[in-house]
Amino acid sequence: MDSYRKLQEKIKTILQFQSSMGIIQWDMRTKIPPRAYPQRADQLAMMSQILHQMITNPEIGILLADVEKDNQSLDQNQKRETELIRLSFNLSSALPEKLISAEAKQISISTSRWNKAKSTSDWTIFQPELEKLLTLSKERADYLMEPTGTTLPYDALLSIQEPEMTSTIVTKVFTDLRKSLVPLVKKYTAKCREIRVDFKNYRVPIEDQRKLVTDLVNYVGFDTISETAGGRIDESAHPFTSSYFDDTRMTVHYYEEDIFQAIFGGLHEAGHSIQGQSRNPQWKWMILGGKSSAGINESQARFIENIVGRSPEFWDYYYERLRGFTNGAFEGVSLDEFVRAANVIKPTKIRVTADEMTYALHIIIRYEIELYLFSGKLEVADIPHVWNEKFGKYLGVEIENDAEGALQDTHWAWGYWGYFPSYTLGNIYSGMILETLEKDIPDWKGKLSVGSVDSTVDWLKTNIHFKANLYNP
């Protein structure tokens, strides 16, 4: 037990350090002045290096071996924690320190370049930096094959996001999905053509949208306003959530003439945020308190966004409140019209605003491109071409510029290869979770109608969030 306790102390320090880095990364995505990027790149490279030294400290290896040799006295949670530490130790030990700091630095640079490239819609600004990052990421993937027990570089990265997942499984699931979705999308797009959507682009001042989103995310349970709030809302080019227990931050990107982005993007990040805050607080400084998988994380975001947030019952109650924040913009729009517009099926260019049916196709395109890149079938320079071609083929959508095409997402700039599949896996998980919810609380939708989101959210907290990383998906 003494070795376990010592090990736990070391992990605590590591997680304190890592979560501090999380604040600095959040800052880089929300607040940093433009001139500070190169300086921040140096800082983050140095911190990544220190973190790597901390995790690969040989003392951890010795303590781990001690604990593993004699683990009968550990309870189930402690056993799981030990396994998670072992995995983390092996993964980090497989990576050379030089690679760690080179990657950290390159991520800062490519993030800054991506920002610029997106705002000018010019892939060539981003391309050389993404190429450098991809080279480093491939190197990482090669090193990680052994400790993850995978046989393909891409699978090594994938399995870090989604334990035990392989591209063989994903490809099979996604191929089936694509084959069913392409005709379905065609059919329902035609059916939805008559639905009124003009008001989606009504002008709503950003100041009003901010107030609405604040009310909305607090309504579903993400506290950003009380005296004991553990959350906040900021703005960034690409919405994301950065969460560590009592310090959880989501972002929104507001468009004056697209309030639906703020509403459903806001609900999505609120889903992440509530989950991030609702982990077992006793595990705050344990790997057990982290995420089970990226897919499970996304399932919670998409549960709130889609299953709760696009249901007629949710809007039964909340629509009047939304009207209160939008100063007459929705005066002539009935509840029914609003809900239909929120559920319209229509192929579009942008993933984060895609409807539930076309969404998976956005993901599949990204996944296929990642597979090509890692198998050497595709060069970074050709991504936009392949992207645009696939959007035409699967969705019948013509991409006119890269800002709305291959530059729309920030993931690759962050080196998040193997992450995109999680969104669709998350959608699938959320459907499975819904099945169980319906058994446990048959009237959950009725409760939404009368303004009680709590019963559903509390159920998610108890059954999913609180358990954090106790089980693999």
Please, what is the Cα angle at 129 between 418 and 152, to 5 degrees?
30
Question: Could you tell me which residues are beta bridge partners of residue 250?
Answer: 233, 241
Task: Report the residue number, 230 or 418, with the smaller CB distance to a second copy.
Answer: 230
Q: 350: left (phi > 0), else alpha (psi -120 to 50), else beta?
A: beta
In the bound complex, what is the minimum distance in angstroms from residue 229's beta carbon to a second copy?
Answer: 5
Q: What angle do CA 286, 291, 293 make, to 5 degrees?
A: 140
**Shortest spacing between CB 13 and a second copy, in angstroms:** 6
Judged by CB, which is closer to a second copy: 222, or 414? 222
Contact flag: residue 109 with a second copy (CB under 8 A): no
Q: Take residue 271 and report the two structure tokens written for it.
A: 């889903």
Distance CA 292, CA 426 (A): 12
d(CA 358, CA 353): 10
Question: What x/- string results for residues 239 through 268 when contact with a second copy is judged by CB under 8 A?
Answer: -----xxxxxx-------------------
How far apart are alpha carbons 131 and 136 in whole angstroms? 9
Reading the block at residue 329, the tokens are 């913009």
User: What is the SS3 assignment for 62-91?
Assistant: HHHHHHHHCCCCCCHHHHHHHHHHHHHHHH
CA–CA separation, 406 vs 31, rounded Å?
A: 25
Interface with a second copy by CB under 8 A: which range of 20-28, 177-185, 319-327, 461-469? 20-28
For a second copy, the closer CB: 248 or 293: 248
398 among known catalytic residues: no
Residue 98 interacts with a second copy (CB under 8 A): yes or no:
no
Compute the distance between CA of residue 265 and CA of residue 353 in angstroms, rounded to an integer.
8
Please pick, from the candidates 5, 9, 42, 375, the single residue that binds a second copy as defined by CB under 8 A: 42
11 contributes a contact to a second copy by CB under 8 A? no
Tell me the per-residue interface mask from 129 to 168 with a second copy, x by CB under 8 A, - otherwise.
----------------------------------------
CA distance 360 to 176: 11
User: How far is Cα 470 from Cα 464, in angstroms, rounded to an integer?
Assistant: 10
Q: Which of residues 44-73 bind a second copy (CB under 8 A)?
A: 44, 46-47, 50
Q: How many residues sit in the footprint of a second copy (CB under 8 A)? A: 38
Q: Which of 9, 13, 59, 187 binds a second copy (CB under 8 A)?
A: 13
32 binds a second copy (CB under 8 A): yes
At 30, the amino acid letter reads T
Q: Do 113 and 413 touch, CB atoms closer than 8 A?
A: yes
State the nearest-atom distance from the C-beta of 129 to a second copy, in Å: 18
Per-residue interface string for the shown chain with a second copy, residues 268-307, x marking contact by CB under 8 A: ----------------xx----------------------
Residue type, 16: Q
- 38 lies in the site for a second copy, by CB under 8 A: yes
Told to check if 224 binds a second copy by CB under 8 A, we report yes
One of 5, 31, 179, 393 touching a second copy (CB under 8 A): 31
Contacts of 83 (CB under 8 A, 6+ apart): none
Closest CA to 185 of 359, 349, 302: 359
Q: Of 153, 230, 265, 426, which one interacts with a second copy (CB under 8 A)?
A: 230
Q: Which of 269, 298, 305, 368 is catalytic?
A: 269
Active site residues: 269
What is the contact surface with a second copy in residues (CB under 8 A)?
Answer: 13, 16-17, 19-20, 23-24, 27, 31-36, 38-40, 42-44, 46-47, 50, 224, 227-232, 244-249, 284-285
